[in-house]
Amino acid sequence: MKGIILFASNTGNVEKFASQLTDKLDGSFEIVNIKTTSPNNIKIREFEKVVIGTYMRRQKADPDIIDFIIRNRDILLEKDVYIFVSALEAGGSYEREIMLSFPDKIRDTFEIYNVGAIFNYDGLRYIEKVMLKNIASRQGKTIEELQTFNEKRLDKFAEIVNTTKPQDNIEKKKED
């Protein structure tokens, strides 16, 4: 089985997840960074499974990832596509943020799985620290508690890719 992991990473976490996923996934996966590869050179047709990963900023997924999804929508809809985000789970609005980022038809067809957020707080700019502090205090949480990523969630996503069809996951979600 030949697959592709297409990702966008702002500060390196999603890139790390993409690399870790190649060890966790069955079959042979090519890793492609959307920021360093021309979209015309990404031949999605050649791959059986398509994994797409993105960070979130300003309540949105990476614009190049979304652009790629929109341009390749029809081919993607014929494939087994698995989407993961690394997003803050700040209150009820976070699912809405994820949903608003992706085109309707894509999210109606494929589950969007959140592995949780992680960041290096000390390395952030002042304005970014203030933003995260505000989000945390609105939720009555600490900065630490905003970092909900853990390896088990990545393992769970890998298991979904390895053992399920995307259509089944969407059906299951509708039933829940």
Interface with ligand FMN in residues 41-70 (CB under 6 A): 55-59
How many angstroms separate the Cα of 63 from the Cα of each of 34, 60, 66, 68? 10, 8, 5, 9
119 binds ligand FMN (CB under 6 A): yes
CA distance 112 to 94: 12
Please report whether residue 118 would count as binding ligand FMN according to CB under 6 A.
yes
Pick one of 12, 27, 63, 103: the residue that binds ligand FMN (CB under 6 A): 12
Contact characters 71-90, ligand FMN, x per CB under 6 A: ---------------xxx--
Shortest CA distance to 149 belongs to which of 169, 120, 126, 170?
Answer: 120
Instruction: Kindly state whether residue 14 participates in binding ligand FMN, applying the rule CB under 6 A.
Output: yes
Type and span of the H or E element at 18? helix 13-24
Site for ligand FMN in 15-44 (CB under 6 A): 15
- Placement of tokens 């996934």 in the chain: 25
Interface with ligand FMN (CB under 6 A):
9-15, 55-59, 86-88, 94, 97, 117-119, 124, 128, 131-132
